[in-house]
Amino acid sequence: MSTANHTGGFHHAHHFDSAEHQYESSKQGIWLFLVTEILMFGGLFVGYSIYHSLYPQVFHAGSKQLSVVLGALNTVVLLFSSFTMALGINYVQRGLKNKAIIALAVTIACAAIFMVVKFFEYTHKFHVGTVPGKYAYTEELSASGEKVTKVGALLAEASKLSVAEREHKLHLDETEYEHLTLLEKTKNWPLFFGFYFVMSGIHGLHVLAGAFLIFWVLLKVIKNQVGPEYYTPVEGVGLFWHVVDLIWIYLFPLLYLVG
Amino acid sequence: MAHEQHNYLNHQKGIWSWLTTLDHKRIGIMYFVAIMSFFFLGGVFALLVRAELFTPGKTLFSADVYNRMMTYHGAIMVFMVIVPGIPAIFGNFVLPIMIGAKDVAFPRLNLMSWYMLMIGAAITGSTLFLENVDTGWTFYTPYSSIKTGLGVIPMVLGVFIIGFSSILTGLNFIVTTHKLRAPGMTMNRIPLMVWALYSTAILQVLATPVLAITLLLLIAEKTLGVGIFDPQLGGDPVLFQHFFWFYSHPAVYIMILPAMGVISELVATYSRKVIFGYTAIAYSSLAIAGVSFLVWGHHMFVSGQSEFAGVLFSFITMLVGVPTAIKLFNWIATMYKGSIRLDAPMLFAIGFMFLFTIGGLTGVYLASTGMDVHFHDTYFVVAHFHYVMVGGTLMALMGALIYWFPKVTGKIYSDLAGRISWVFIFTGFNVTFFPQFILGNMGMPRRYYDYLPTFTELNQMSTFGSWLIGTGFLVGLYGVFYALLKGKEAGNNPFGGKTLEWTTTSPPPHENFEKTPVLTGGPYEYR
């Protein structure tokens, strides 16, 4: 590009005095962008706290239905991936190319594991009918004239079966059956899953975006476009990844552990 | 001309070099072309809305068509014209030059912001041919989420993308102001236009993400039916208003702060005097930005929020008047005993002060909870915010256009065309919107398609005024083409400005300055 100055292998754009100057500016820009990300999620957290204070029982019953084991697994996976990301940046800074490639690849793998776990969590929720808002309701009306939820329909079916048959036919174990019964007794429970799917969904999109960005810097490492003298993109993507991780650290207790 | 001067306009040639340019000056011009096209479209919708209201009942269109035109007028003008207007066009062009930088900090991001505005505008605009979009620019729930058609989704998605454009521009300006100032250009020496743009950028970065999540939630509501805004599913439609105004009230200052920056420049240059109270004007911009986050509740005095919240929001809202008045009094103090030249830009600056003061004072009426109950959702509100936004931002936009036109193009904008344009816009504006204060006080509700026969005369006056405004802007547009084709050569500093952009050539070279300037004093050293 005509806008680049080549000095000693590394180039900085024409409107900066030095590589250092450009690095400082880029870093400020990335931090500002991360502020906007946190503010965007902030809106969701505000909505969450308002409804949590209005309907604590909804959030109690809803969180019981989420799998703490899978949530905790994902938390560990993301924490570990933050660690490997930090290692990756460190290796790039020290010029250890092969180690950097491994660290970044592991980070991407962690993102993939996270998404796979999320996939199983989501499909199970579709299966039992714990979905948001209007999709949680069936067309039917109960004897008392209220709308029947999909969970209600499933429970009605399950109540006719023995415990073993539930496990076999409906893939419902006894604890889950109890949790769903508790849920069904709570008015407006689909609101919880509105928050669950919106918050974890937008976070999931960020995980995907992060994985693509890490892949992008991984290619840069392979092509020797980043190294000890220039690692701004790696560090920027790393900061983004840490924020994605950080948001999950808030989402996990708020959604899974409030009960 | 002895030889062809080398500048940013002839640095590279061809349409492709414009569409891929990383030069902030060219991007500013691209914004100008785009935003002025949107402005034309929004203006046509405004004229049609006013034409429909010429008589009670049906004049030209059905109520359905009227609702849609009103929605597009609002959405286009707010999201595509007044919010990006001055920062994207003039901010892009003059901010780096004013602080002695070669470009903004992130030129690629700058170009990307322009494309995002284009993509967002295309998606929003496409709804013109899709399902009815008749929510008004505020997209209030539950009407938008439950009642009306699915066209709201692409409309809102477009606005979401435009919001990204706004965030990225703001981010770029903040880093540019922090990191790229020329040697000697301390924060207390940057021109007031830059202070205004900097405060605006902070608002853009801090407020717009909340709009983003609000619009995402509305989309989620519409597609997944999550129920956060739906009372039938346990949600609360008023929450949307809280979220929406948490962005959109600061957005009012995103619209007006850059205008105030322009006025500071114009007043100093055309009064030939050191600006009075530089620090006060500079920090009052930050004060307005700060207070703007705490006042959203005044949009919701009649929404059933607690009396305590009403009183609190009423008080904080009136607080905004303090830094605003600080600016106004400092401009007047600058003009006092100055050698004032009433050139077209100065006329627009004075028009700004006049109209904005009326807009600001009627804002105090609306900030008083008791009076707001009377005026709420009447034409009084319509008149108030048009005085603030149109009388403020568009006056400043015209002033900025004529003032910086020579720097951008190298040609002088005809002062006569500017003055004629001003006379039409200024009188037309008052003829249009002053009757609306009276209409509002008489009880005519806003947004309505029909009205009582009692209101006919004042509405006809208002519609007549809208034609005058339209004529005024057409004269302004004619002035642009006339200046481009037949304008006189400008020279480097036709108006005797003292800020850095007047020290470089007109039009500036590709890298803004032949040699990086070194500052030894403040920006307005007249006498």
Per-residue model confidence (pLDDT) at position A10:
64
Per-residue model confidence (pLDDT) at position A6:
41
3-state secondary structure at position B445: strand
Give backbone dihedrals phi and psi of B225, rounded to 5 degrees, phi first.
60, 45
Per-residue model confidence (pLDDT) at position B4:
62
| B516 in a structural domain | no
Per-residue model confidence (pLDDT) at position A145:
75
Per-residue model confidence (pLDDT) at position A3:
42
User: pLDDT higher for B355 or B150?
Assistant: B355
CB contact under 8 A, A198 and B226: yes
How far is the C-alpha of B317 from the C-alpha of B467, rounded, in Å? 34
- Given a cut of 70, is residue B2 above it in pLDDT? no
Residues 6 or more apart in contact with residue B370 via CB below 8 angstroms:
none
Query: Token pair 């870093």 is at which residue?
Result: A27
Please state the rounded mean pLDDT for residues B245-253: 93
3-state secondary structure at position B489: strand
Q: DSSP state, B339?
A: -
Per-residue model confidence (pLDDT) at position A258:
85
| B346 in a structural domain | yes
How far is the C-alpha of B510 from the C-alpha of B301, rounded, in Å? 52
Give backbone dihedrals phi and psi of B412, rounded to 5 degrees, phi first.
-85, 135
Amino acid in position B348: F
Cβ count within 10 A of residue B517: 18
What DSSP line would sit under B389-444, residue for residue?
IIIIIIHHHHHHHHHHHHHHHSBPPPHHHHHHHHHHHHHHHHHHHHHHHHHHHHTP
HSE toward the beta carbon, residue B407, CA cutoff 13 A: 26
CB contact under 8 A, A36 and B208: yes
Give backbone dihedrals phi and psi of A148, rounded to 5 degrees, phi first.
-90, 135
8 Å CB contact between A149 and A129: yes
Query: What is the topology classification, in CATH, of domain A29-134+188-257?
Result: Four Helix Bundle (Hemerythrin (Met), subunit A) (1.20.120)
| B457 in a structural domain | yes
pLDDT in tens, B162-220: 999 999 999 999 999 999 999 999 999 999 999 999 999 999 999 999 999 999 999 99
- Measured CA distances, B235 to A60, A188, B477 (Å): 17, 9, 48
CB contact under 8 A, A42 and B214: no
Crossing angle for the helix pair A190-222 and B192-224, to the nearest 10 degrees = 120
How far is the C-alpha of A109 from the C-alpha of A97, rounded, in Å? 18
Which of B233, B242, B246, B516 should be substituted to probe chain A, the one whose Cβ sees the most A Cβ atoms within 10 Å? Answer: B233
Per-residue model confidence (pLDDT) at position A7:
40
8 Å CB contact between B436 and B122: no
- Reported residue count of chain B is 527
Per-residue model confidence (pLDDT) at position A2:
39
User: How much helix, strand and coil, in percent to the nearest 5, is found in chain B?
Assistant: 70, 0, 30
List of chain B residues whose C-beta atoms are within 8 Å of the C-beta of residue A46: 243
Residues 6 or more apart in contact with residue B37 via CB below 8 angstroms:
none
- Reported residue count of chain A is 259
| B321 in a structural domain | yes
Flag the least confident range among B84-98, B130-144, B372-386, B498-512: B130-144
Domain with residue B447: its CATH number is 1.20.210.10
How far is the C-alpha of B276 from the C-alpha of B273, rounded, in Å? 8
Q: What b/e readout covers A160-199, taking b as 16+ CB neighbours within 10 angstroms?
A: eeeeeebeeebebeeebbebbebbbebebbbbbbbbbbbb
Going by their DSSP bridges, the two strands A137-141 and A10-13 should be labelled as unpaired
Which of B224, B229, B247, B511 should be substituted to probe chain A, the one whose Cβ sees the most A Cβ atoms within 10 Å? Answer: B224
Start-to-end CA distance of chain A, whole Å, equals 57
Q: How many domains does chain B divide into?
A: 1
How far is the C-alpha of A174 from the C-alpha of A70, rounded, in Å? 18
| B210 in a structural domain | yes
| B325 in a structural domain | yes
Would you list which residues of chain A are within 8 Å, Cβ to Cβ, of chain B?
Answer: 3, 13-16, 21, 24-26, 28-29, 32-33, 35-37, 39-44, 46-47, 50-51, 55, 58, 132-135, 187-188, 190-191, 194-195, 197-198, 202
8 Å CB contact between A14 and B511: yes
Q: In terms of Cα–Cα distance, which of B526, B407, B401, B411 is closest to B475?
A: B401
Per-residue model confidence (pLDDT) at position B3:
53
Contacts across the A-B interface (CB distance below 8 Å): 128
3-state secondary structure chain A: CCCEEEECCEEEECCCCCHHHHHHHHHHHHHHHHHHHHHHHHHHHHHHHHHHHHCHHHHHHHHHHCCHHHHHHHHHHHHHHHHHHHHHHHHHHHCCHHHHHHHHHHHHHHHHHHHHHHHHHHHHHHHHCCCCHHHHEEEEECCCCCEEEHHHHHHHHHHCCCHHHHHHHHCCCHHHHHHHHHHHHCCCCHHHHHHHHHHHHHHHHHHHHHHHHHHHHHHHHHCCCCECCECHHHHHHHHHHHHHHHHHHHHHHHHHHCC
pLDDT category at B524 given cuts 50, 70, 90 is confident
Residues 6 or more apart in contact with residue A43 via CB below 8 angstroms:
B209, B210, B213, B214, B217, B243
Counting residues of chain B whose pLDDT is more than 90, the rounded percentage is 87
Q: In terms of Cα–Cα distance, which of B460, B287, B294, B270 is closest to B352?
A: B270
Report the number of secondary-structure helices (H) and strands (E) in chain B. 18, 0
Please state the rounded mean pLDDT for residues B497-503: 93
3-state secondary structure A110-158: HHHHHHHHHHHHHHHHHHHCCCCHHHHEEEEECCCCCEEEHHHHHHHHH
pLDDT in tens, B376-393: 999 999 999 999 998 999
Q: In terms of Cα–Cα distance, which of A68, A176, A67 is closest to A128?
A: A176
| B333 in a structural domain | yes
List of chain A residues whose C-beta atoms are within 8 Å of the C-beta of residue B234: 51, 55, 58, 187-188, 190-191
Positions of chain A with pLDDT lower than 70, given as ranges? 1-10, 259
Token readout for B165 is 């454009």
Please state the rounded mean pLDDT for residues B114-130: 93
Amino acid in position A202: I
Burial of B371 (0-12, 13-18, 19+ CB in 10 A): middle
Per-residue model confidence (pLDDT) at position A158:
86
- Given a cut of 60, is residue B87 above it in pLDDT? yes
List of chain A residues whose C-beta atoms are within 8 Å of the C-beta of residue B180: 15-16, 25
pLDDT in tens, A181-239: 888 888 889 999 999 999 999 999 999 999 999 999 999 999 999 999 899 999 999 99
| B520 in a structural domain | no
- Given a cut of 50, is residue B452 above it in pLDDT? yes
Q: In terms of Cα–Cα distance, which of B527, B515, B405 is closest to B182?
A: B515
- Given a cut of 60, is residue B440 above it in pLDDT? yes
List of chain A residues whose C-beta atoms are within 8 Å of the C-beta of residue B227: 132-134, 188, 190-191, 194
Instruction: Name which of A24, A46, A191 is nearest B227 (Cβ-Cβ).
Output: A191
Q: What ranges in B127-271 are assigned the alpha helix state H? A: 152-179, 192-224, 237-271
ipTM of the complex: 0.91
8 Å CB contact between B373 and B398: no
Residue A17 distance to chain B (closest CA, Å): 9
Q: What's the domain range around B262? A: 30-502
Cβ count within 10 A of residue B282: 24
